[in-house]
Structure 1
């Protein structure tokens, strides 16, 4: 019987099963119910707090008796059980996604006593793009044009993959773009429900700033919503400040870049049931610009 097909019982722990499965693959093979049990029995060991907000946190963790590092993001959610189950169902899709441009998800579980959801995912030692550009800014520098081009290309390829699977990211911002130790760029927090996006907006300051106008107005998300947020993100890291300055301060340039991104021909962003255009083709045009 394979490791991933067996439920961990109260008398078993992950350590007892490592003989049947290489420890480096354990986090990839666990079912959501296994993650739930691991959390309830104290097998998730927090090594370092990576970030914390009003009602949530991100930590670097490891499973007891194993060596594989993973990130654990915990977000407070609505107490309504139906809402919680809806979020869990939607997040379960993330585990089926596989691309070198997106963070690999390992599992999701509920913390019922504190009304929160935890997501175990690939640990990216390079940190977030938000921290990287702010560190450069603090040292009187900024991210160069060539690295930004590579970052943009990786993000767009990640979005192309997600959109090919009919997944809209919904929450693109510098803190949701991660770097591996080797310097690879990956998207995280993709495909989350509107309910969870709202929870994260309250938890981690800044989420709402990157929302597309249609999202702010309560309208339906679309492919162009991701493009809007991406445009803001690229402009921010290239100029070391958020593109829309406080009232009274001069506007940033080139604002024309953002205008161009959000005004790409609608025909190239129409869903395939209408004009049979594949979502994965949406960004091939953009990459040639």
Structure 2
């Protein structure tokens, strides 16, 4: 039995789903016509339907109807034998959502039969938020062969038997069938005697027929070359982005960038044996991942993994591997060192990092606050700030520059010697363009232009660094002492609460400390 989840724009589960997720589940026994998706981003409305079926191919066809779609089967092993899950994409050529709107994608079926799925972090799929792409040629899709060791592709061009939904909501499923058309032979009349051709005539006819065949082959070759050239030209056109479109747009081909993270040279070079990585205790947990203490080759390490609920999601797995690649490219004394990446299957992918035995800066500041440690800057705090500044200077000096985009006290790790190192490059991006607009990060540390979805560059990290300085100064979370936007019963604004001296005073204190003690 399989559970088929279909996500729709809006709250009524109508139109074409933008994403379909299939998993093997013995617990699925009841169909759910439509519910509100509570995991979706708060700025978007999404609804979710659930179908229980033994034939997810037919169920997917039923859900997409006449709309073009792609179906990717993801396997747990390298030979595509043990199915992990499958995911269906609305192949509109436009920017569509994913399960829970955790990412966004452009799925395209080209005129030549090839297909691609490009994943983005931004809701309008700007190139600056590009995560990864999966591609398959027409032969791989038609033969359903194992691509990149893990995937099998299907498309709406496959011949699938019709299905119907009964009044109870169950789907009557038929298997995929690919049948060649059958023709009934037509009785031919008894031929009448014909005159016999001479040997010379037979030779002449044969030569003429051969000449015609050569001409046909040459014409086909020229047509294919023209078609390929046209496809290459069209591949640089950007599609019109429209989230949750219910109508199939013309197959505009987005910019194609051959990307296969699993075969990337850096990932292959940094891969380590999975059985050599031993997991010990849980250190921290976030929205999508968790960090464990562990041992590799007898040395203590930090092991980062996806949450169990996200390990079977293709987009989350690829985003996690993209983060691993980003971290592997970093080489700076104040950035957490990358040791390696390991996996035996998609579901046990892990990233092995340097173990920072001093915890994170936020935990240290919480201890300071509980013990009423004196506020203000001392030498230790100034050194931490300076080391973070060195790490940012390194990121911004790379070509192209790298914007961290989530600088905060939780992402500054310490060792026992109180040396600070920057971590968590989950949403960092190379600045491929002049500026970016994808609003990502943690709101308390986020620059106003990022929060408003406006143009921004590496200066956004400097705003977050300023907020980090305020944390070092007063030990509390950002804006903890900010005045509440509230009024009394007479409508009068309440008086301001006392807080720190503000950002200019914080910078002055830091400058004074650095000039006297460093």
What is the TM-score when the length of structure 2 is the normalising length? 0.37
SS of 2:443's equivalent in the other structure is: helix
Superposed CA deviations along residues 179-198 of structure 1, whole A, max 9, x for unmatched, are 1222211111237347xxx9
Which residue pairs with 2:388 in the alignment? 155
> Structure 1 residue 85: deviation in Å?
3.6
> Structure 1 residue 60: deviation in Å?
1.1
Match 1:189 to one of 418, 424, 435: 424
Query: Partners in 2 of 1:258 and 1:210 — Cα distance?
Result: 18
Report if the CA contact (8 A) 2:391-2:422 is conserved.
Answer: yes
Superposed CA deviations along residues 123-171 of structure 1, whole A, max 9, x for unmatched, are 1111111111111211121464222211111111111111111111111
Q: Please show how residues 177-256 of structure 1 align to structure 2 within 5 Å.
A: 177-190=412-425, 192-193=427-428, 207-245=442-480, 247-248=483-484, 250=497, 252-256=499-503
Report if the CA contact (8 A) 1:60-1:72 is conserved.
Answer: yes
> Structure 1 residue 61: deviation in Å?
0.9
Give the structure, 1 or 2, with the largest relative contact order (CA under 8 Å, sep 6 or more).
Answer: 1
Q: Please show how residues 254-265 of structure 1 align to structure 2 within 5 Å.
A: 254-257=501-504
Query: Partners in 2 of 1:173 and 1:52 — Cα distance?
Result: 16
Report if the CA contact (8 A) 1:142-1:238 is conserved.
Answer: no
Which residue pairs with 1:170 in the alignment? 405
CA RMSD of aligned residues (A): 3.7
Which residue pairs with 1:34 in the alignment? 271
Q: Please show how residues 11-22 of structure 1 align to structure 2 within 5 Å.
A: none
Report if the CA contact (8 A) 2:332-2:391 is conserved.
Answer: yes
2:346 is aligned with 1:112: yes
Unaligned runs of 5+ in 2: 1-77, 79-265, 430-437, 485-495, 509-513
Count of aligned pairs: 220
Unaligned runs of 5+ in 1: 1-8, 10-28, 202-206, 262-286
2:354 is aligned with 1:122: yes
Which residue pairs with 2:300 in the alignment? 69
Does the C-alpha gap of structure 1 residues 140 and 193 become closer, same or farther in structure 2, counting only changes over 3 Å? Answer: closer
Report if the CA contact (8 A) 1:231-1:258 is conserved.
Answer: no
User: Which region of structure 1 is more displaced relative to structure 2, 238-247 or 125-134?
Assistant: 238-247
> Structure 1 residue 122: deviation in Å?
0.9
The structure whose Rg is larger is 2
> Structure 1 residue 78: deviation in Å?
9.4
SS of 1:102's equivalent in the other structure is: coil
Which residue pairs with 1:20 in the alignment? none
Report if the CA contact (8 A) 2:447-2:460 is conserved.
Answer: yes
Which residue pairs with 2:131 in the alignment? none
Superposed CA deviations along residues 45-89 of structure 1, whole A, max 9, x for unmatched, are 2222211235431111113xx211111223456976467546534
> Structure 1 residue 100: deviation in Å?
0.9
SS of 2:331's equivalent in the other structure is: coil
Query: Partners in 2 of 1:75 and 1:213 — Cα distance?
Result: 30
> Structure 1 residue 99: deviation in Å?
1.1
Query: Partners in 2 of 1:254 and 1:215 — Cα distance?
Result: 25
Match 1:137 to one of 369, 380, 383: 369
User: Which region of structure 1 is more displaced relative to structure 2, 171-180 or 99-108?
Assistant: 99-108
Report if the CA contact (8 A) 2:342-2:350 is conserved.
Answer: yes
Query: Partners in 2 of 1:74 and 1:210 — Cα distance?
Result: 25
Structure with greater strand percent: 2
Report if the CA contact (8 A) 1:87-1:193 is conserved.
Answer: no
Report if the CA contact (8 A) 2:470-2:506 is conserved.
Answer: no
Query: Partners in 1 of 2:465 and 2:446 — Cα distance?
Result: 10
Which residue pairs with 2:336 in the alignment? 103
